[in-house]
Amino acid sequence: MKVFRSKKTLQDYIERQKEMGKKIGFAPTMGSLHEGHLSLYTQASKENDLVISSVFVNPTQFNNPSDLEKYPRDFNRDIKILEKAGNVDAVYLPEIVDLYPDGLKSKGYDFDGLENEMEGKFRSGHFDGVGTVVEELLLQVKPDNAYFGEKDYQQLLIIEKLTEKLKLPVKIHGVPIFREKSGLAMSSRNERLTPEQRESSKVIHETLIKVNDWFRIITIPEINKRIKDIFDDQRGMMLEYFVIADEKTLKETDFFYKGHDYRAFIVVFVNDIRLIDNMHLD
């Protein structure tokens, strides 16, 4: 596996691969790799000649400086995991200057309102940061296909919108959420949970399963109330939001309309660790 630590060396490599007509699949990450990330590479390796990943903890998408500071980082461990996975051809570990040549600031984007829902309400500026870094990475890596997890479902739709608006020649693929045995969605932030917190956090996924059982049987306001009650009873956990939203517009709904698909979205703090999950309702 090749490791590129600068834009220049990466771009020479990309140019050569393009000349050879290689189809490139790309999965960007912020590192602290786990099986959720590996599932992106598995899908990418089936659909491309070459798989490239990147590891970069993107400062502009963190609205909370302490979250950025505590975000786990271990590049050497990540490289070992990638080597072991065996299906990643190259990893890009850019320096800040490679992605932000004019200084560490976000561009402003209009994602047709997707950016104002859920995460957009609670993490001001988050999607401008995501858009800025993903746009730059896509321009540098020039993939044919790019892979993003459904765990960050709103991010996935926003990146589809970004590439559509900027007419970037890349196809965006969503990859299903990879879960721990307990059902907890895999996340780099899970590393910071104590064994007890990890065990109790399975309630997040269990709750989404209940919501799916209640879907179209009880009203959404009643579901919302039950969710609030469940988390009021959880010690050391704080529900930041629970929303049932249209899967395309991400607009919150209080009523299930025929012919629309819906998804439940949840964010819970376990002490200061922010865990996010969602589930398609069927």
157 near ligand AMP, judged by CB under 6 A: no
Pick the closer one to ligand AMP by CB: 188 or 200. 188
178 near ligand AMP, judged by CB under 6 A: yes
131 near ligand AMP, judged by CB under 6 A: no
Is 37 a catalytic site residue?
yes
Q: Name the burial class of residue 259, with classes exposed (0-12), middle (13-18) and buried (19+) by CB atoms within 10 angstroms of its CB.
A: exposed
Provide, rounded to whole angstroms, the least separation between the CB of residue 41 and ligand AMP.
10
Provide, rounded to whole angstroms, the least separation between the CB of residue 61 and ligand AMP.
9
187 near ligand AMP, judged by CB under 6 A: yes
Q: How many residues bind ligand AMP (CB under 6 A)?
A: 17
Cα diameter, the chain? 59
61 near ligand AMP, judged by CB under 6 A: no
Among 26, 62, 127, 148, binds ligand AMP (CB under 6 A): 148
Only one of the segments 97-105, 114-122, 172-180, 200-208 lies at the binding site for ligand AMP (rule: CB under 6 A); that segment is: 172-180
**DSSP SS3 for 204:** helix
184 near ligand AMP, judged by CB under 6 A: no
**DSSP SS3 for 236:** coil
Instruction: List residues bridging with 276 in a β-sheet.
Output: 267
Among 14, 24, 38, 40, binds ligand AMP (CB under 6 A): 40
Q: Are 101 and 224 in contact (CB under 8 A)?
A: no
39 near ligand AMP, judged by CB under 6 A: yes
- The single residue of 37, 173, 205, 260 carrying the catalytic annotation is 37
Q: Please give the Cα distance from 154 to 48 (Å, whole number).
A: 25
Q: How far is CA 135 from CA 39, 44, 47, 128, in A?
A: 22, 19, 22, 10
151 near ligand AMP, judged by CB under 6 A: yes
**DSSP SS3 for 2:** strand
Q: Which of 66, 141, 150, 56 is nearest to 100 (CA)?
A: 56
Query: What are the φ/ψ torsions at residue 235 (nearest 5 degrees)?
Result: -75, 140
Catalytically active residues, by annotation = 37
State the residues that interact with ligand AMP by CB under 6 A.
29-30, 36-37, 39-40, 148-149, 151-152, 175, 177-178, 185-188
